[in-house]
Amino acid sequence: MQAQYPSSLLPLISLCAGLGIVYLVSRLLRKDNSYPPGPKGWPIIGNISDVPTDYAWDAYREMCRKYNSDIVHLEVFGSHIIVLNSAKAAEDLLDKRSNIYSDRQTTVMIHELTGWHRALAFIPYGDYWRKHRRLFNQHFRAAAVPQYHLKQIKAVRRLLQHLLDSPKDFLDHIRFMSGAVILDIVYAFDVRPGDYRIELVERAMAVVNVIVDAGTNLVDLIPLLKHLPTWLPGAGFKRTAAEWKVQVDGMFNTPFEEFKTTMEDRKVEECFSASVLSHGEDEDIDQIARNLAGSAYAAGSDTTVATLTIFVFALVLFPKAQVAAQAELDRVLDQQRLPEISDKDQLPHVTAIVLEVLRWRPAIPLGIPHRLTVDDEYNGYHIPAGSIVMGNAWAILHDENTYPDPDEFKPERYLNDDGSLRTDIPYPTETFGHGRRICAGRHFAHDILWLAIAHILTVFKIERPLNDGGHEITPEAEFTPRFISVPKPFKCRFTPRFSGAEALINVSSNTSHD
C-alpha cells in the first residue's frame, strides 16, 4: 500500500531529500585540497557554525590570520563562501576579473520575500542591470555631480543651524540632512524635519542590515524552507519578512507615486526621477525609474548618515585630529565665510580627514557579496562557479603594512610633511566596493561628505560630553555588529569655535533657503 503523508509534511520531506542530494553531489564533485584554506566542516551542514553573524569582518580577518592566507573558504549546505582579506586578492579577482565576479546571489530573503530585489545594488548582473546602471551613471558620474553642489550646500548649511540650535540631537540632524538632500535631488521634494518620507528609508534600511550578510539567513542557504507553512515552528521568518516587505514597498513606491502626482498636477522642478522618466523609449522606464529613485534614496541617505556619524565619533575619541584642519580652514576662510567646493584644493587637511573616516571605520565593512558566474582558479586554488565572494574592506583598510597603527584615527597619514596630500598611499576605495559593482554614487557621496565635514569643522569644535562634575567623559569605542556598522549611541558637544561663528551660521542658513 502506498504511503500517505499530510500535505503539511511534504515540504519537510522535500527538504530532507534535497539536503541529501546536495550533500551527495558536493561530495562527488569536491576537491578538498584545491579550495582555499578554511575551517573543516561537518557533513551536509558544512561550516554553518563557523559563519559569523556579528562583527563578521573582524572574524574573517582573524580566520585569515589563523590559516595564514589572504583568502579563506567556507561551505554551508553546498554553498561556497569566499572571503578576500587583502587588497591584492580583491583587486585580482573583483576588479581585474570583474566580468565573472560581478553577479549577485539571488537570495530568497532579498529577491523573493522582502522586495529588495529592485535595488540597483542587488539586481543580478546582465542586460537588465546594465540598463539601470547606465541611466544611473549618466546622472551621478564624476562630471555630472557638480550640478548637485548647490543643493548639497543648502542641506549642509541647514545642518549647521540645527546643530547650533539643538546640538544634543546631532544624530537626528545628520539623518535629516542626508535624507533631505536626496529627496530634493531625486524627487524635487523640499522637506522639513520630521517628514515621514525620511522615516520610510530608515525602516527599509533596517531590513537590509539584517538580511544581506552571506550565510546568516538559513532560508538563503536552504531555499526549500520558503515553502514551509507560516504556522510551523521555525517558519517565523516568513511572517517577519512579510512585515519587512511592507516597509520596503513603502520606500520604493510612496515617494515615487507622490512625485508622479506632482508631475501630473503641475510642472515639476527638474530632478533625477523626471530626467530618468524622460528616457521614454524603454517600455520598462517607469519601473526602472522607480527602482533607481528608491536605490538612490536608500543608499544616498543611509550610508551618508553612517559615515558622518563615524566622523563625529572619531573626533570625540581623537579630538586633536581636528586641530590642523581647523587651522587650515581659518587660514583660507579667515573666519569670514563658509567653505565652497572650489576651496577643496586649498584644504588638504580636510580631505585627509574625509579619507581617514572612510578608512578607519568603513560603514559597510564587508561590502555587498559578489557571485562568481564560472569556475575560476587563483593562486592554485579552485573557486567554484556560484561561490559567494566578499571583499573584506575592514581587513584591507586595517592592513598594518599599508596603514601603520590602523586602529588609530590619524588623518596625517595621508599628508606629506609640507601638508600636501600624499600620492603613495592608497585611497580607501574599498569603502565603495569593487569592479563593475563599485558604488555608482561614490562621487556624489564623497562631495557631500567633504562639504559637511568642512562646514562643521569651520564653525564647531567637537568635544567630549561632560559628567555632573564638569569633567570630560570618553565613550567606549563600540560599534553595531551587522551589515552597516555605526557607533553605538554616544553623546558629544558642538561648541562654536569663534565669536562670529553663530552669526555666520545664521546668515548662511537664511541664505540657503532662498
Binding residues, by number, are 439
Q: How many Å is the Cα radius of gyration of the chain?
A: 24
Cβ neighbour number for residue 149 with a 10 Å cutoff: 16
Residues annotated within a binding site for heme: 439
Cβ neighbour number for residue 384 with a 10 Å cutoff: 21
Whole-angstrom Cα distance, residue 234 to residue 213? 20
- Single out the residue of 447, 470, 472, 471 nearest to residue 462, CA to CA: 472
Q: How far out from the chain centre does Cα 143 lie?
A: 23
Q: Which helix (H) or strand (E) holds 79?
A: strand 79-84
Cβ neighbour number for residue 446 with a 10 Å cutoff: 21
Coil/strand/helix, residue 287:
helix
DSSP assigned state of 384? -
Helices (H), 70-169: 87-90, 108, 127-140, 149-165
Residue corresponding to grid cell 558629544 = 492
Which triple of cell numbers denotes residue 445?
557621496
Cβ neighbour number for residue 389 with a 10 Å cutoff: 26
State the first-to-last Cα distance of the chain, in angstroms, to the nearest integer: 83
Helices (H), 369-476: 393-397, 442-459
Whole-angstrom Cα distance, residue 382 to residue 123? 26
Q: Spell out the SS3 assignment of 289-320.
A: HHHHHHHHHHHHHHHHHHHHHHHHHHHHHCHH
Q: Do the Cβ atoms of 136 and 292 come closer than 8 Å? A: yes
Whole-angstrom Cα distance, residue 475 to residue 465? 9
Cβ neighbour number for residue 422 with a 10 Å cutoff: 14
CB burial of residue 286 (10 Å; 0-12, 13-18, 19+): middle
DSSP assigned state of 91? I
Cβ neighbour number for residue 326 with a 10 Å cutoff: 18
Q: Spell out the SS3 assignment of 223-264.
A: HHHHHCCCCCCCCHHHHHHHHHHHHHHHHHHHHHHHHHHHHH
Whole-angstrom Cα distance, residue 450 to residue 447? 5
- Residues 6 or more apart whose CB falls under 8 angstroms from that of 9 comprise none
